[in-house]
Each structure stands twice: as C-alpha cells, then as structure tokens.
Amino acid sequence: MSLTDPPRIAERFRGFLPVAVDVETGGFNAATDALLELAAVMIEMGPGGELRTGANFRYHVQPFHGSRIDPASLAVNGIDPHHPLRPAMPEKEALTQLFREVRKAVRDAGCTRAILVGHNASFDLGFLNAAAARTDIKRNPFHPFSSFDTATLGGVALGQTVLSRAVTTAGLDWDPSGAHSAIYDAERTASLFCTICNRFRFMYEEALVQAPDLAAPEQEPLAED
C-alpha cells in the first residue's frame, strides 16, 4: 500500500478488522459467571481513510445452566435475567448470529480475521472465548488473544482510562443513563477507538513511508460459510 492508493481498512491493521464488543455479565469469572448481554459495533473506513462506526448488533442472553449470578453485578448493569418479557436467547444462538455477521464483515472488507476492540478488552474477550468454548463453536472469527484496549489507548492519548471520562475528554457525548448497557458501551467504545485512531493517523502515514513492507496484511484467510 502507498499513500496514493485508495484507503482500505484491510491494510490499516495488517488484515485485521476491528469490531467493538461489550458484554454484561453476572460476575467477573468467565468460566463460572453468566453472560447476560452481548453487543458489537462494526468499524468501517470512510472514503477519505477515516475510521467510523458501522452496523451494530445486540443480544440478550439466557444464563447458561449452572452459571453463577452475583446480585452486585446485577445492581450495576440493571439486568433482570429472569424477567418474563426479556427477549433472551441461548448463548449458542447469540454467538452463532454474531459470528455470522462478523465473518461477513471480515470478508466484505477484504480482511482475514476480526480483532476485538473493548474497554478493558481482556474481560470482554475472555467471556466471548469462554462462551464459544462452552457451546462448542469452532469458527470464532476473532483473534483468540490479541485485542485493542481502549482503556490503554485512552490513557495514552487522553490521560483517561475510565470509559466515561475518556469519551468526554475526546469531545464525544456521554449519557450516564445509558452506561452499562452492552450496546451503549460498545458504541461509545467504538467511537472512542475511531476518534483516537483518526487523530493519530499522521503517525500511521509516517510509518507507511518509513516501513511500507511491514504494512502487509496477515495471510490467513477466514474460512467460508
């Protein structure tokens, strides 16, 4: 890729497609605690090379059999897992639907794999991987251990590691009433990621000039449906 080529997100992150993910859970242990909400926001590249948020997906998830649910966690996220009007689905169905959408986005963008963007990303990726293993889903489109952590990016770029503070410092809107909803936190995380990447774009373009050969995408095509 050179600076004269049309911008493609497939080249921006070495063939990886960033996808912002947020989970709401019944605790902090991915092996034992329930996954209750799952949301994802696709990240796209505009015609001028700027990153922007794309389609979003949200799933209410039924607690898996034998899972632990800490009342303190429910007090924070406001979820009633057993409410009769809650449109929840089994873990496997939610993951199958999300992974299908992510694989399509990866292929459409010419990328080879998705990479999770999260605020404290290891938490979200841990629950995602644990649920995929528990439901015996083999075709997880996300990189199994690498991620983009907006807590780290926010600390470096803005001096803030708390999502609400980083979002506000970046000049983006923050609605406290929406916090701890998986889709709201995923959308704000995606917007924060795009904002920081766009502001640091000059460093990326300098890197292309200095080491263009190192910008080649990973050669690991995603399996077809």
pLDDT score for 1: 46
Amino acid (1-letter code) at residue 103 = R
- Pairing mode, if any, of strands 35-45 and 51-61? antiparallel
Residue given tokens 């902090």 in the structure block: 28
The whole model's pTM is what? 0.92
Q: List Cβ neighbours of 156 (8 Å cut-off, separation of 6 or more).
A: none
Task: Give the residue among 200, 110, 108 at the shortest CA–CA distance from 148.
Answer: 200
* 66-110 pLDDT, tens digit each: 999 999 999 999 999 999 999 999 999 999 999 999 999 999 999
Per-residue DSSP letters for 34-48?
PEEEEEEEEEEE-TT
Residues of the chain with pLDDT under 50: 1-3, 223, 225
Q: From CA 138, how far away is CA 126, in angstroms rounded?
A: 16
Residue given tokens 């889903």 in the structure block: 137
Question: In degrees to the nearest 10, what's the CA dihedral of 166, 171, 172, 178?
Answer: 60
* Residue 179, CB-side half-sphere exposure with 13 Å CA sphere: 13
Which residues are annotated as catalytic? Answer: 180
Which domains are seen in the chain, by residue range? 9-214 (3.30.420.10)
- Pairing mode, if any, of strands 142-149 and 113-118? parallel
Question: In degrees to the nearest 10, what's the CA dihedral of 42, 164, 94, 33?
Answer: 140
